[in-house]
Structure 1
C-alpha cells in the first residue's frame, strides 16, 4: 500500500528509475533542486541523462542503495513486493509513494493538461509539449517517451501549463485533477487489470470526473469508444466537452488531411474559422493527435492559428515511426506499436511512405496477458505487411502463461494468407531480415520491448 506524498520530496529514491514514466518524474524533481537517487535493472542512456542532472543511479537492486536520509521511495506498479529496496524502505518506515501520486503532486499550482487514451498518448503529449514550447510558454511536461526535439521526456518549465501523459493501464490516471483532459480513444487493453470493456469505460469515466470544475474534456469522437464515453459524460455539471474529428458536427472538425510525402497538411474548422497547419509525421492517426492537441491548447486560451503553426515544429517521438537508418537501399524504421489498432495504423501510415517497396515487419509481442486476449487481432494486423517475422513474447512484468506463445499470432496471420515466420532468439533476426530485404523495402521493427535494439544490428548486417 502506497503512502501519501510527503509535503516535500527533497531526497526521493526511485526503484526502477530508468522507466519512461519514472525517469520523467525524477528529472523534474532534480530540476527543482531535490537530491534524487534511484536504481534500475541495467544501465542505459536514460540513466546517463539522469546522472547529467546530478541524480545518483545504481545498477541492480539492493537494500544498501537506499540512502540513510531518503525521505520517500517512489515505485510504479511494475515493482514487486519482494524488491529489496522496497522491503528496506518499509522496514525503516520510509514513505512509499506510487509514481502517479508523485506526478500528481508535481502538477499542484499549474494548469494541467492530461492526455489519455488507449493509443496515441505519448505522441499527443509530445506535440503539446513541443508546440507550447515553440510559442515561448515554457510548459512543464512528463511524457512516456523521449522527444526527437529536445531529446528528453520531462522538463520543469517556468510557465503555468503542465502537460502530462495519463496512464490508464493501472488506473493511476485517477490521481490527476486536470484543467483540460484529452481522451483519444477507448478500447479493451491491459487485460491483467481490466476484465471487460465496461470496466475500462468506468475507469475513464472516473478520470473524466477528476477534471476541475469548469474544465474541458477534448474527445476524438471518430473513435467509437471515445464517442461512447462522450455520450456517457454529456451533461455533467461544470464540464465543457469539445469534440474533434472528421465527422460532421464535431466542434473542431477535420475538414481534410492531405498527405505530402512524410508529412500531412491538416485543415480544421472551429467556430466557422479554418486553421491549416502541417504535421511533420505521416498518417491519419497522427493528424488526429495533432488536432486534439490544438483543441486542448485553445481551451487554455492559446490562439488556434498560433498553435497550428507551432505544431509544425514537432518532429516525432523516439520509437514512433522513427527512422533508424538506411543501408543498401533498405530503410529501417522503429515503432512502439504493440496493440492491434496501433499496429494497423502504423502500417497504414508507412504504406504511403513505402514508395512501391515492400514492408517487412519484425514484431515482438508485449505481455502474455495481451497476447492471450488479442493474438488473433495481432495476427490480422501484421498480415497487412508484405512479410513478417514474429519474435518470442516480451514478458515485461509478467510471468509466462501456459500455452500462450507468439505461435498464436503466427498462426492467426498465416490463416489470413500472410507471409509470416517465427524466429526464436533475437541474435538470428538480422541475418533473417537481410535474407528477406531488397533495395526499396522498408523494415519496421514493432513492439514495446527490446525489439528496438534490433534496428542498428539489422542495418549493420545489411551493410555487410
Structure 2
C-alpha cells in the first residue's frame, strides 16, 4: 500500500512513517518544515519528502492519505483531497487499524512525563525479552529510535510480540476528529501519570481535559489495568466519573511507594509498604522516581516480575532532550531539556539543584508551546524558576511581555527579543562551575552548540 502522510515531520507522524515503512508499505510525505533532523531520518529510511502542501501531490496517487493534526482546512493539498473525494484518515486511526489491533497496548497518558515513562516501560519489556513495539514522542537512548514494530520474543521467536507501548497524547487527533489521540488506542494497560491544565489552544479549561481523560478510561477493558498517580486529585475526579477497570495507585500512602532515597540517586521501591528492591540509576528528580513506579507497575501487569523491572531500570539510559548533557566548555556545563510547562520547569530545576548543590544554575527558557505563547501559564513562571540563580528568557513570538511576568523574581531575570543577544548574555554571565539549563520544546535555534562555541 502507498501511504502519503501530511505533516510527516512531526514526532508522532514521523513515528507513523517509520512503522509503516517497517511494515512494508510505500511511504511518502510532506510538511511545511522539511528540515533535519527529522527529514534526514526519514530520507535515510527511503521515504521521499515534499516541501509544503501543494495540490499537485495528488498526482502521487497514493492508496490513502494519512493526515496529521498540523493540517488545517485551506491547505491546497487537503482541499484537493476533499474535492476529489480521495480516501484519508488520521494518524491515530491508521495506527489503531493497522498496528494496534489485536495487540496488548500499554498506553502512557498525562500532562508530564509521558515520553520518559513510555521509554522506561518499553525498556523494561525489552530487557525482559518481550520485544515490544513502541511509538514514543522522543528517542529513548536504549533504542536509538522513536518507533518500531513489535519484534520476536526471546522465549517464542517464531511469533510476534503481542505488546505495544505508546505515548498517549491528549492533544486532538485531526481537524476532522477533535477527540484526543489516545481514545483511538484502546489500551489494556493504561498509565495516568498526572493531569493539569495545558493545551490552552484547544481546551477551554481543566474540566474539558478531564472529560477527554474519562473518554480514555471508558475504553479500557475490565480485565485491563489502570495505573494512576495517587497524588493527583484531578485524576481521582476523572475515575470517580466512572471506572470499570482495576486501579493501582502509585506515589501515595498505599499501592506503589517511594522508599529511601540513596546518596547515589538510587531509591527503594515499596508495594503496600513491602520492600521490592532498589533502583540504581543516575536520573534526577522525584518526578522520574514516580515515572519509574508507574512503569514498574504497568510492566508487572504485562507479566514482568517486579525485581526484573527494577533491575532493568538500573540499565535505563533516559531519553534525548531530558536533562541531556550537550557539552562542557571552559568549566561550564550545558544541558538540554524539553521542559516547557511551569510544573515541568520546576521539577527539572529541582532535580538539577539536588545534583549540583550550591553551584549556580543559569536557566535559559523559550516559551514556545501553544499554551505558553498564549500566556496562559505566565503567572506561574516566577515560582517555577525559583531554584535558578539567573534566568534568561526569549521574548520572540510571544503575545505577552515576559519581562512583566518575571518581575516577581527581580533582577535575577532578563528577557531578550533578539536571539544572538540572548546567547551573548548567557555566555557573558557564565563562569567555570556553572550549569546552563536550556528548556524548550523546540530546537531553540541550535542554542546549545552556539553557547558551547562562545564559551570555549
How high is the TM-score relative to the length of structure 1?
0.89
User: 2:444, 2:432 → 1: CA distance?
Assistant: 22
User: 1:58, 1:68 → 2: CA distance?
Assistant: 11
What corresponds to 2:157 in structure 1?
none
Does residue 252 (structure 1) correspond to residue 260 (structure 2)? The answer is: no
1:267-306 equivalent positions in 2, closer than 5 A: 267-270=269-272, 272=274, 274-306=276-308
Does residue 417 (structure 1) correspond to residue 410 (structure 2)? The answer is: yes
Relative to structure 1, is the Cα distance of residues 326 and 195 closer, same or farther in structure 2, using a 3 angstrom cutoff? Answer: same
User: 1:428, 1:102 → 2: CA distance?
Assistant: 45
Does residue 377 (structure 1) correspond to residue 386 (structure 2)? The answer is: no
Q: Is the 8 A contact 2:201 2:370 kept in 1?
A: no
Does residue 22 (structure 1) correspond to residue 18 (structure 2)? The answer is: no
What is the Cα deviation at residue 300 of structure 1? Answer: 1.4
Which is worse superposed, 427-436 or 411-420?
A: 411-420
Does residue 134 (structure 1) correspond to residue 133 (structure 2)? The answer is: no
Relative to structure 1, is the Cα distance of residues 88 and 163 closer, same or farther in structure 2, using a 3 angstrom cutoff? Answer: same
**Which residue among 105, 109, 116 is the counterpart of 1:112?**
105
User: 1:449, 1:49 → 2: CA distance?
Assistant: 17
User: 2:395, 2:446 → 1: CA distance?
Assistant: 15
Secondary structure (helix, strand or coil) at the match of 2:356 reads: coil
Q: Is the 8 A contact 2:268 2:276 kept in 1?
A: no
After TM superposition, which residue ranges in structure 1, 4 or more long, deviate above 6 angstroms?
none
Number of aligned residue pairs = 437
Q: Is the 8 A contact 1:386 1:418 kept in 2?
A: no
- Unaligned segments of structure 2, at least 5 residues: 152-160, 173-179
**Which residue among 386, 390, 395 is the counterpart of 1:387?**
390
Q: Is the 8 A contact 1:429 1:458 kept in 2?
A: no
What corresponds to 2:94 in structure 1?
102
Secondary structure (helix, strand or coil) at the match of 2:70 reads: coil
Q: Is the 8 A contact 1:70 1:94 kept in 2?
A: no
What is the Cα deviation at residue 148 of structure 1? Answer: 2.0
Relative to structure 1, is the Cα distance of residues 266 and 15 closer, same or farther in structure 2, using a 3 angstrom cutoff? Answer: farther
**Which residue among 174, 190, 195 is the counterpart of 2:204?**
195
Relative to structure 1, is the Cα distance of residues 460 and 120 closer, same or farther in structure 2, using a 3 angstrom cutoff? Answer: same
What is the Cα deviation at residue 43 of structure 1? Answer: 1.6
Relative to structure 1, is the Cα distance of residues 270 and 307 closer, same or farther in structure 2, using a 3 angstrom cutoff? Answer: farther
User: 2:58, 2:64 → 1: CA distance?
Assistant: 10
**Which residue among 220, 223, 236 is the counterpart of 2:232?**
223
**Which residue among 439, 444, 454 is the counterpart of 2:437?**
444
User: 1:83, 1:280 → 2: CA distance?
Assistant: 46
What is the Cα deviation at residue 47 of structure 1? Answer: 1.8
What is the Cα deviation at residue 202 of structure 1? Answer: 1.4
User: 1:94, 1:264 → 2: CA distance?
Assistant: 54
Secondary structure (helix, strand or coil) at the match of 1:205 reads: helix
User: 1:169, 1:191 → 2: CA distance?
Assistant: 10
Deviations 1:368-387 (A, max 9, x none): 54342111102321233111
Secondary structure (helix, strand or coil) at the match of 1:36 reads: strand
Deviations 1:311-364 (A, max 9, x none): 222211111111111100001101111111000000000111224321111101
Secondary structure (helix, strand or coil) at the match of 1:415 reads: helix
Which is worse superposed, 325-334 or 411-420?
A: 411-420
1:37-436 equivalent positions in 2, closer than 5 A: 37-40=28-31, 41-105=33-97, 106-158=99-151, 159-170=161-172, 171-233=180-242, 236-237=243-244, 239-245=245-251, 247-249=252-254, 251-260=255-264, 263-270=265-272, 272=274, 274-367=276-369, 369-370=371-372, 371-393=374-396, 404-405=399-400, 407=401, 409-417=402-410, 419-436=412-429
User: 1:243, 1:418 → 2: CA distance?
Assistant: 42
* Backbone CA RMSD of aligned residues: 1.9
